[in-house]
Amino acid sequence: MTDETVHETHAVDHGSNGNGEDGRLFGVLAEYDTPGELVEAARKVRDAGYTEFDCYSPFPVHGIDEAMGIKRTILPVLVFGGGATGTLGGLLLQWWCNAYNWPWNISGKPVWSIPANVPIAFETTILLSVFTSFFGMWILNKLPQVWHPFFRNERFNQVTDDAFLLGIEARDRRFDADATPALLKEAGALKVDSVHYDPDPATARMPKWITAFIVASTAFALIPFAIAAKARTSHSTEPHIHIFPDMDFQPKYKSDQAMDLFADGRENRGELAGTVARGSLNADDLFYRGLEAGQWSTGFPKQLEINDALVKRGKNRFEIYCSPCHGYDGRGAGAVPQRVAAGGGAWQARNLVDASNPVVINMPNGQLFNTISNGYNTMMGYAAQIPHADRWAIVLYVRALQRSQNASLDDIPSDHRNGMQMPEAPSR
């Protein structure tokens, strides 16, 4: 249904239906000659109580904000907030990365170096302020909005060139089909058009090709992420592809690699004759080998203080390394022989405390030490597992065991004798 507007133009209606009919009325659009007249018209319209109206011009017209009663935008406040977030974020980023998560010393500067952190904090402040300002403005302006009903009016094309238009939307409370155009005319409009929605429902829907384009481009955009996600794990037995070789393939030999440069085919050239690796000299015969002038030592190395702590240490080490075979009491019936017996076999470790067959009791300390280090018969050497000092501690404990397992009541100090009945249970 076509309206009877005050000044009908000869404008071609775009997209009206076959009957030349138009859709629902959107609003009226008035054109003015000069920016000044536009401002005055806007003032009149505002004074008349209209709110759903806007002015359209190729450049911002000075004075129109006040004439239209446009409230100051909240954008500066948002930008301030964005900037403050940027400052805090920049400082937090630098603090967390360089002073908290992995602090490291760079030329003696404090890990939390405020003067050195200012430049980046400044830049992040500006960056976030800029983003807030830019995106905030478009969002507040509700743009992008590529279509607006007023674009159906041919004069609207000229807004970006030289035209000054004022449009009032029909949904305004005070809109009246006659009075509104009359008001605009009175304010000096060159012409007043009415603008209708397109009646064709197809134009209200997004064209199929745009939908397809968005779906396709989104799908394409996800492809790199999908590849990256897939590439995080691989079950391939092939080596990685090195796009940039960097220093991944270095012309050098790795330890114990085969090497045909030498006749023996080895990269490892062994120890050089007449040299000793640092820390491997071990000159002290007594401490390292239990020998004193070529004979098994009967005492203990001077480095070690023979005290309760050393005995306890020896006990602790004995119970870890020796008790599986020799038992907690040293009599040779530890967990391993028990296991063998449970399987139907018979095997006993050496009884270390046997007074009736005092082989071990009579063994000098140095020889005991040597047995611990290098083993004996089926016993393996424990040199690789037990440091030298600990071995001496074990020797000391074995001596203590030998005494305690063959002790009589007289060996116990008088003040400890009361209440002693059974031997102590082994400690765990």
C-alpha 142, offset from chain centre: 36
Nearer to other proteins by Cβ, of 135 and 253: the residue is 135
Pick the closest to residue 379 from 343, 419, 348 (CA basis): 348
Nearer to other proteins by Cβ, of 11 and 341: the residue is 11
Pick the closest to residue 371 from 293, 296, 313 (CA basis): 296
Q: Which SS3 state, helix, strand or coil, does residue 275 take?
A: coil
Nearer to other proteins by Cβ, of 56 and 328: the residue is 56
Q: Rounded CA gap, 321 and 395, in Å?
A: 12
Beta carbons within 10 angstroms of residue 158's beta carbon: 15
Selected from 15, 119, 299, 375, the binder of other proteins by CB under 8 A is: 119
Name which of residues 129 to 148 contact other proteins (CB under 8 A): 129-131, 133-134, 136-138, 140-141, 143-148
Nearer to other proteins by Cβ, of 54 and 267: the residue is 54
Per CB under 8 A, 36 contacts other proteins:
yes
Span interacting with other proteins, options 186-194, 218-226, 310-318, 336-344, rule CB under 8 A: 186-194
Name which of residues 3 to 32 contact other proteins (CB under 8 A): 12, 14, 31
Per CB under 8 A, 40 contacts other proteins:
yes
Beta carbons within 10 angstroms of residue 276's beta carbon: 11
Q: Which residue has the tokens 């393996």?
A: 380
Per CB under 8 A, 161 contacts other proteins:
yes
Nearer to other proteins by Cβ, of 246 and 308: the residue is 246
Residue type, 288: Y
Selected from 65, 172, 267, 354, the binder of other proteins by CB under 8 A is: 65
Nearer to other proteins by Cβ, of 126 and 182: the residue is 126
Q: Rounded CA gap, 167 and 54, in Å?
A: 5
Beta carbons within 10 angstroms of residue 197's beta carbon: 16
Name which of residues 76 to 105 contact other proteins (CB under 8 A): 76, 79-80, 93-94, 97-98, 101-102
Per CB under 8 A, 195 contacts other proteins:
no
Span interacting with other proteins, options 37-45, 228-236, 378-386, 406-414, rule CB under 8 A: 37-45
Q: Are 28 and 5 in contact (CB under 8 A)?
A: yes
Q: Rounded CA gap, 355 and 368, in Å?
A: 16
Per CB under 8 A, 181 contacts other proteins:
no
Per CB under 8 A, 56 contacts other proteins:
yes
CA atoms within 13 A on the CB side of 86: 22
Selected from 6, 25, 39, 368, the binder of other proteins by CB under 8 A is: 39
Per CB under 8 A, 194 contacts other proteins:
no
Minimum CB distance to other proteins, residue 192 (Å): 12
Tokens, residue 363: 């063994």
Q: Rounded CA gap, 236 and 225, in Å?
A: 20
Span interacting with other proteins, options 16-24, 150-158, 286-294, 356-364, rule CB under 8 A: 150-158
Strand partners, 109: 106
Minimum CB distance to other proteins, residue 244 (Å): 5
Nearer to other proteins by Cβ, of 37 and 267: the residue is 37
Selected from 8, 21, 24, 33, the binder of other proteins by CB under 8 A is: 33
Nearer to other proteins by Cβ, of 98 and 180: the residue is 98
Under 8 Å CB-to-CB from 328, ≥6 apart: which residues? 319, 334, 426, 427
Helix (H) or strand (E) holding 169: strand 164-169
Selected from 3, 5, 16, 63, the binder of other proteins by CB under 8 A is: 63
Q: Which SS3 state, helix, strand or coil, does residue 160 take?
A: helix
Name which of residues 238 to 277 contact other proteins (CB under 8 A): 244, 246
What is the SS3 assignment for 26-65? Answer: EEEEEEECCHHHHHHHHHHHHHCCCCCEEEECCCCCCCHH
Minimum CB distance to other proteins, residue 230 (Å): 19
Minimum CB distance to other proteins, residue 19 (Å): 20
